[in-house]
Structure 1
């Protein structure tokens, strides 16, 4: 029968300083291991058997750490040692058991990732994928407005399809297009979470056979962007030129070039060919993924020259006032809304699309240009469509227009500018 180790007192253990391994008694195999200034509790125990070099089964002695001394007291070390020896008697390997527990804890922590944490990663990935800064901004803004207040801080693994449906229901009819885009974004975020192991099971934001029976399909007739009748454009620009700041300049530039707001917001000085009076928009910023050449009238060149001295060569032409980054659609939407309210006080009408009875939008000025060019000019339809960078059905025709019709488009844009600025000529 093996000799029992002397049971040391807490005071006796505190006096142990020299390097070595000291049995402290109380529990067979409990030792204090001292190496320099380090003092650690060790339980030396037999855990099962293992094959030796001769292929024979022998007792498997293992050192199991119980923590540092004095953070773990002598009494605590004896309690831990007794618990581990009890596990061993029941056929449990304490080290393997601890590893399993750590893996479970790690897995649990992974599943504690919140919806907003996962969304941040997906948005960062989308920032690299998407070429349109406007679309990137919409990812963040729609989630912040509709999803984060309710689900942002929830662990993504706990969110159900019913909860997602409840969030989308209030806007499913009135803002169906926005709601559908949000649903798609939520689905993408759950796809990422599932791939990372933060979520297990079917994607709760899937449409077919999942959210579709709850929300139902909604057929929405497409409505064009509210636009101003072209007879009122000159009055609008006269009013616009009374406004100070970069947003009114950006809006006037968008009107005179008939370009999309995102193309205007992303414009940089190196894209402007002042000599030939052309703005060359790279394909990366075009909806059709093709370079677009925009003829610039004398008045439009003058507008650019009036602000050029206030920015650097590498800056955006129309930088956001606060941070020098890109303007947002909201800046122009707010500007138009305020101008409408001022005009409404004068004539009780304001700036309204008479067909839709809705306040006009920046994008609507492209429709205004198209209506004017069809009603008031003899330019070919293809030339007018190319000004708007619409994709033509005939690729050969489109290729021809990009070259030979540039002069016609210069004339068209000069006529449009003259029409828009008749009050100032």
Structure 2
């Protein structure tokens, strides 16, 4: 049996942590706000996971969520990532929209946001736009970039950076269990010509050496 009951949770007013057992705590702030926290410890590492407000999450639901988190930890899984999976993982297209929306206010002008979206629509969305972000692999990204890596090197570098930004956001948000594999992707592509060499090649094509 737990130490708490629905009645005691409702009546509790003293700020602090009130234990229910097995790492579940009722946390009361000095403001009177009440929430649930699950504390787990494995291999000497201790982590706290918020389970929601008491006004929205009942004691029985909090216990169920705490059991779920403890099981994930015992299995070697990251509870934050697993909870995100249950909530629904976005596609690359959806994640890109969130990144553009969140970064837009910090970009120097509206044109920059349009350029971001235009490059993704032209070169990325046709290949991986509708894939969920946790399914996107290095070879998939390499295939997207290989189409323009040599023909449009500057654009390709920007596209690579933008794919990395979106996938890093997905990782930080718990939608991926690893960071964007951008270094490995670059190693799998041919060396791009230096800007001067590329420019010289263009001149040679326009003005052949006699």
- TM-score (structure 2 length as normaliser): 0.55
Residue 187 of structure 2: which of 208, 213, 216 is its match? 213
2:149 is the alignment partner of 1:175:
no
Partner residue in 2 for 1:201: 178
Alpha-carbon distance, 1:221 to partner: 2.7
Residue 150 of structure 1: which of 114, 122, 127 is its match? 127
Q: Following the alignment from structure 2 to structure 1, what is the Cα–Cα distance between the partners of residues 187 and 111?
A: 32
Residue 108 of structure 1: which of 60, 64, 85 is its match? 85
Moved segments of 4+, more than 6 Å:
102-105
* 8 Å contact kept, 1:122–1:192: yes
Partner residue in 2 for 1:303: none
Q: Following the alignment from structure 2 to structure 1, what is the Cα–Cα distance between the partners of residues 127 and 169?
A: 20
Q: Give deviations 1:352-386, integer Å, cap 9, x for gaps.
A: xx98649xxxxxxxxxxxxxxxxxxxxxxxxxxxx
Alpha-carbon distance, 1:200 to partner: 1.4
* 8 Å contact kept, 2:142–2:189: yes
Gaps in structure 2 of 5+ consecutive residues: 5-59, 70-78
* 8 Å contact kept, 2:168–2:179: no
Shift in alpha-carbon separation, 1:211–1:111, aligned structure 2, 3 A: farther
Gaps in structure 1 of 5+ consecutive residues: 1-47, 52-93, 225-353, 359-425
SS of 1:116's partner is: helix
Alpha-carbon distance, 1:220 to partner: 3.2
2:163 is the alignment partner of 1:163:
no
Shift in alpha-carbon separation, 1:216–1:106, aligned structure 2, 3 A: same
Alpha-carbon distance, 1:182 to partner: 0.1
Shift in alpha-carbon separation, 1:357–1:216, aligned structure 2, 3 A: closer
Shift in alpha-carbon separation, 1:192–1:356, aligned structure 2, 3 A: same
Q: Following the alignment from structure 2 to structure 1, what is the Cα–Cα distance between the partners of residues 154 and 162?
A: 13
Matches within 5 A, 1:44-193: 48=1, 50=3, 96-97=63-64, 100-101=67-68, 106-110=83-87, 112-193=89-170
How many residues are paired up? 139
Q: Following the alignment from structure 1 to structure 2, what is the Cα–Cα distance between the partners of residues 197 and 219?
A: 37
